[in-house]
Amino acid sequence: MGNTKKLLFSDKNRIENVTEKETVRLENYLEVAQSLSRLTYESLYVIDYKEMTFEYVSDNPLFLCGHTAEEVRQMGYNFYLKHVPADDINLLEIINTEGFNFFDKLPNNDERKLYTISYDFHLINEKGKPMLISHKLTPVFLTDDGKLWKSLCIVSLSDNQQSGNVIISKQSSNIIWKLDLKRKEWIPEEKQKLSAKEIEILRLYKQGYSINQIAEKIFVSADTVKYHRRKIFENFGVNNITEALFYAMNNKLI
């Protein structure tokens, strides 16, 4: 298990066994993941922390690096040892350790399932080319004693420029936590807030409209759209509309 354990598992989350009552909750749940995979361009997979395996991998070539979904499922996190460069392997080890440290400090109740962690790292595809992916993970099932039993992971191409960008968010919370990789410390921040006009402009950009088309739809000048766009860039700390949309969607602002 060695390096694989450092990437995914933690002694703090060791699951020795589960009760029959806990097992009953699993009935047909993988069918939901399979259905979801048919509705999204993103790649999905499910981690089983008790068995330390991938329980399901969607048939999406983005994530598979030339393998079949079944081959990746059988490889489990050894897939990452094979296809992630060394620097990013070290990054994943840090994220795993600090992520479980964060999770372990949360109150032991169902609210633990409201948290999501996201981060970026490189995969080396079947042609030997690195691609930066965005990886999001959220709990699906906890054991009765609050340990992470099953989690759903979503993989897509990242709009960031480099690895890292580690963020934990909680559903319906205005706070996010960013991991300072040097200090290995979670820094809480308030989510950026958008005005109604900024939200409308971002949604229209997401639909593919140009500046002039957006201006026409919301009855303002093109310069006004540019002004709001510039404010969004400044607030998010990004350089272009693609990065702004990624930030807004990743933080559930639109």
Dig out the tokens for 33 from the structure.
């993941």
Dihedral sign (CA 179, 10, 30, 20): negative
pLDDT score, position 1 = 52
Sheet holding 148-157, edge to edge: 53-57, 43-48, 148-157, 130-142, 115-124, 164-170, 175-180, 185-190
pLDDT score, position 4 = 59
Q: What is the pLDDT along the chain (254 residues), one digit of tens a residue?
A: 556 566 777 888 888 878 877 787 777 788 878 888 877 888 999 999 998 899 999 998 888 999 999 999 999 989 999 999 999 999 999 999 999 999 999 998 889 999 999 999 999 999 999 999 999 999 999 998 899 999 999 999 887 889 999 999 998 888 999 999 999 999 999 887 888 999 999 999 989 999 999 999 999 999 999 999 999 988 887 888 888 887 787 777 87
- Domain segments of the chain: what residues? 2-190, 196-250
Q: What is the pTM of this model?
A: 0.80
pLDDT score, position 116 = 94
Among the four given CATH numbers 3.40.470.10, 3.40.50.150, 3.90.199.10, 3.30.450.20, the one describing domain 2-190: 3.30.450.20
Among the four given CATH numbers 3.40.1350.10, 1.10.10.10, 3.40.50.300, 1.10.390.10, the one describing domain 196-250: 1.10.10.10
pLDDT score, position 32 = 79
Give the C-alpha separation, 215 to 197, whole Å: 11
Give the C-alpha separation, 79 to 4, whole Å: 9
pLDDT score, position 198 = 92
H helical segments located in 15-150: 20-24, 29-37, 61-64, 69-75, 78-83, 86-104
H helical segments located in 124-210: 196-206
pLDDT score, position 48 = 93
* DSSP sequence for 227-251: HHHHHHHHHHT-SSHHHHHHHHHHT
